[in-house]
Copies of this chain bind each other. A is one copy, B any other.
Amino acid sequence: MISGRKPIIGVMGGSQCDGEIYELARQVGRLIAERGAVLLCGGRGGVMEGTAKGAREAGGLTIGIMPGGNVSESPPNPYIDIPIFTGLGDARNAINVKTADVVIAVSGGYGTLSEIALALKNDTPVVGLKTWGFHREGFPKSPLFVEADSPKGAVERAFGFIRR
């Protein structure tokens, strides 16, 4: 995190999800905004929409790193204040995890798994909530990946990384 700036917390997850996961994402977004951080996400539907909605409800600022190059290629969800149009497709995942001070991964598919991996490669801490597990024989477990079992626990742990 850069001193003097608001922390930026990234919430990653699938562009489609069921109602329970959407609600978890919304709560995560709300708690992030209530604690004064900027919310960054992929700007699309599903988890990205739920979390942006929650942040907006709590008066927070929301950034969407869009895969497409303009509004018609990538319509941002209605809760994105600042859509950043990259035109990079999946390669924009690298931007998400480099820009966020910490990432919260909520459920998600292969895109989310790639973001968890890229975050850890870039030394960006990750908090997992109902998301992927992964292991490779002989590869040490990273202290930058922790798991939580509730939105409150996830945001608590995310801010824990920032305070260090």
Contacts and interface: CB of A to CB of B under 8 A. Distances in A.
A134 B5 CA distance: 36
Interface stretch (A23-31, A44-52, A106-114, A149-157): A106-114
Nearest to A86: B95
On chain A, which size bracket covers the interface? 35 or more
A163 interface: no
Contacts of A94: 69, 86-91, 93-94
A132 B5 CA distance: 35
A111 B117 CA distance: 7
Contacts of A89: 69, 87-89, 94
B98 A139 contact: no
Interface string A14-55: 000000000000000000000000100000000000000000
Contacts of A5: 81-83
Interface string A73-91: 0001000011111111111
Contact of A137 (B86, B99, B130): B130
Interface of A: 2, 5-6, 8, 38, 63, 65, 69-71, 76, 81-95, 98-99, 107-111, 113-115, 117-118, 120-122, 130-137, 139, 142
